[in-house]
Every structure is written in C-alpha cells, then in structure tokens.
Copies of this chain bind each other. A is one copy, B any other.
Amino acid sequence: MSEREAVLFANSAFYHAFSTRDFDGMVRIWSKTQPLTCIHPGWDILYGREAVLEAWRGIMQRRPEGLHMTPRNERVIIQGDTAIVVCIEEVTAPRFLSATNIFVREGSTWCMVHHHAGPAVIDPASLEPADKPRGPIN
C-alpha cells in the first residue's frame, strides 16, 4: 500500500466510522499522542482530545440511522509525517459539505489530528467517479 493509499484508507475509515455509528472506531482514528482540534459546521473550535471525542459521541448518538457520509473528490498532500486530505462530503439527501482532514503518521498508521467541515454548494457534475485515480494538484 502506498503512502497515499494509506492516507486515503485512514480518511475512508473516518467516514465509515461515522456512517456506521462506530464510536469506538472513531476513537481509534484520532491520534492519542498529538494535540487535536475539530471544527464542525457552524460550531466554535474544539480543542483537545476530550472535547473532540465527546462532541463526536454526541453527534453520532443524535445522528439519524441511515445517514451516510461519503468522501468524494479526495486530494491528498503528504508533507513528511503530515498528510492533508481535502474532500467533498456527500451526505445522504444528497447534500454536500467540504472538508479538511489532517493526519499524522504514527508508526505504520495515519491518525487524524484535525477535522474541519462546512456546508458547500457543489455541482454534482463535478463529482468524480469513486474509482477514478486522482491526479496531483498543480
């Protein structure tokens, strides 16, 4: 698995944990060693592991069953042991958010340290097929 694939795997695991209400999975995705921050749509900034994970617990408990969130048009930038993923979040409806996800390498695993999502007006025609190889950003 290439570094890029490993980062995309971690990014997909984040959305899978959310979509399946797997809070333990969500906990495992976030770094246990680095400072964590999170910006949910419209919220004030959350600082620190406890605040970030407690918010996810609440959101995932309140989330209606069957509400899935799928990453689309992912772009990966790896700078040393830090990886940035920018992507569209397609939420069941469909409606869209745009997101910045940041991961750090911890051993062989990429762990999330920051998530920022906000509402976005997306032209569905701009969505790439889910299996399309994604090119570099120029």
Interface-facing stretch out of A3-11, A21-29, A41-49, A55-63 = A41-49
A36 to chain B minimum Cβ distance, whole angstroms, is: 7
A138 contacts chain B at the CB level, 8 A cutoff: yes
Which residues does chain B contribute within 8 Å of A117, judged by CB atoms? 118
The residue of chain B having its C-beta at the shortest distance from the C-beta of A122 within the complex is B44
Q: Are A48 and B119 in contact (CB under 8 A)?
A: no
A1 contacts chain B at the CB level, 8 A cutoff: no
Given A39-B118, A98-B39, A114-B86, decide whether A123 and B79 contact each other with a Cβ distance below 8 A: no
Q: Are A44 and B138 in contact (CB under 8 A)?
A: no
Question: Can you name 27 A-B pairs with beta carbons within 8 Å?
Answer: A35-B75, A35-B77, A35-B138, A36-B137, A37-B75, A39-B86, A39-B98, A39-B100, A39-B120, A42-B120, A42-B121, A43-B98, A43-B120, A43-B121, A44-B121, A45-B75, A45-B86, A45-B87, A45-B98, A77-B113, A79-B104, A86-B116, A98-B116, A100-B114, A102-B102, A118-B118, A118-B119
Which residues does chain B contribute within 8 Å of A86, judged by CB atoms? 37, 39, 45, 114, 116
A contact residues vs B (CB 8 Å cutoff)? 34-37, 39, 41-45, 47-50, 73, 75, 77, 79-82, 84, 86-88, 98, 100, 102, 104, 113-114, 116-123, 126, 136-138
